[in-house]
Copies of this chain bind each other. A is one copy, B any other.
Amino acid sequence: MHSKERIRLYDLAMADPSVRVSPHCWKARFALAHKGLEADLVPWRFHQRGSAESGTATVPYLFDGDQLISDSWRIAVYLESCFPERPSHFGSPDAVPLARMINSWIDLTVMPLLGRVVIPDVFEALDPLDQPYFREARQKRFGITFEDLRAERESWSLKFLDSLAPLRRQLSDNPFVSGTAPGYADYCVMGAFMFARCTGNSNLISRADASVVAWNDRMLGLFGGLGRSAPVVI
């Protein structure tokens, strides 16, 4: 049950704490905005992971009063069940599993490619205290040094753009992934696009198909320009 206090969303911050790049945190921010909920965005950094307060090793997580919800998908489900009187980001119940599948497509097919383009830029922008952990963990995950990733940048960029083929077709037929209005499936995709934008890689998005670029522009304008006004890495 929702507490009367403001929700606190823990969101990865860079060395400049106004810059927030995490794709999964962006999903949660768009879901909150869709519900018309204001939340306090608490800056979180990797060296705080597993602290006593959250007990989680990843962001986003949120506190609603003393209730902890972690993982962007669980946050989306929680907000939907806790605020049924507010606009739904899932639509009807039988659309929920399909949104989940599209979320998995972004996380497991698109993000590994985008990550290989953008991760070295995240590293540069991080709080220096976060850099040693981040370098070690990500180089291990991707099995390659950041320096070698930089050298392969264009090749991964092309693979990322290719992976958007289903999105290109969807947005040729519909203004939004979810149809005539944006919903959680759009916010899942937009999380990845904000990851590119906020790490200074808007030029990568602008190379996508025209229908995708136009959708990105519509998405940046939602909720008073939530995406467009977000600070980016200089």
A residues apposed to B, CB below 8 Å: 91-92, 94-102, 104-105, 107-109, 163, 165-167, 169-170, 173-174, 176-179, 183, 185
**Contact across chains for B174 and A100 when beta carbons are under 8 A apart:** yes
Closest to A105 in B: B166
Q: Please, which residues of chain B bring their CB within 8 A of the CB of A107? A: 166, 169
List residues of chain B with CB within 8 A of the CB of A173.
100
- List 20 additional A-B contacts (Cβ < 8 Å) besides A97-B179, A98-B99, A100-B170: A91-B94, A92-B94, A94-B183, A95-B95, A95-B98, A97-B170, A97-B176, A98-B101, A98-B102, A98-B177, A98-B178, A101-B167, A104-B166, A104-B170, A107-B166, A107-B169, A108-B166, A109-B109, A109-B163, A109-B165
For A178, the chain B residues whose CB sits under 8 A away are: 94, 97-98
Shortest Cβ distance from A99 into B: residue: B98
CB-based contact B101/A170 at 8 Å: yes
A99 to B94, CA, bound (A): 11
A-B pairs with beta carbons under 8 Å apart, 28 shown = A91-B92, A91-B95, A92-B92, A92-B94, A92-B95, A95-B95, A97-B170, A97-B174, A97-B178, A97-B179, A98-B98, A98-B99, A98-B178, A98-B179, A98-B185, A100-B170, A100-B173, A100-B174, A101-B102, A101-B177, A101-B185, A102-B102, A104-B167, A104-B169, A105-B109, A107-B166, A109-B163, A109-B166
With a cutoff of 8 Å between Cβ atoms, the chain B residues found around residue A96 in the complex are 179
* A94 to B91 alpha-carbon distance, docked (Å): 6
In the complex the two chains form, is A94's CB within 8 Å of B169's CB? no
Alpha-carbon separation in the docked complex, A97 to B97 (Å):
13
Q: What's the Cα separation between A115 and B100 when bound, in Å?
A: 26
Complex Cα–Cα for A199 and B167 (A): 29
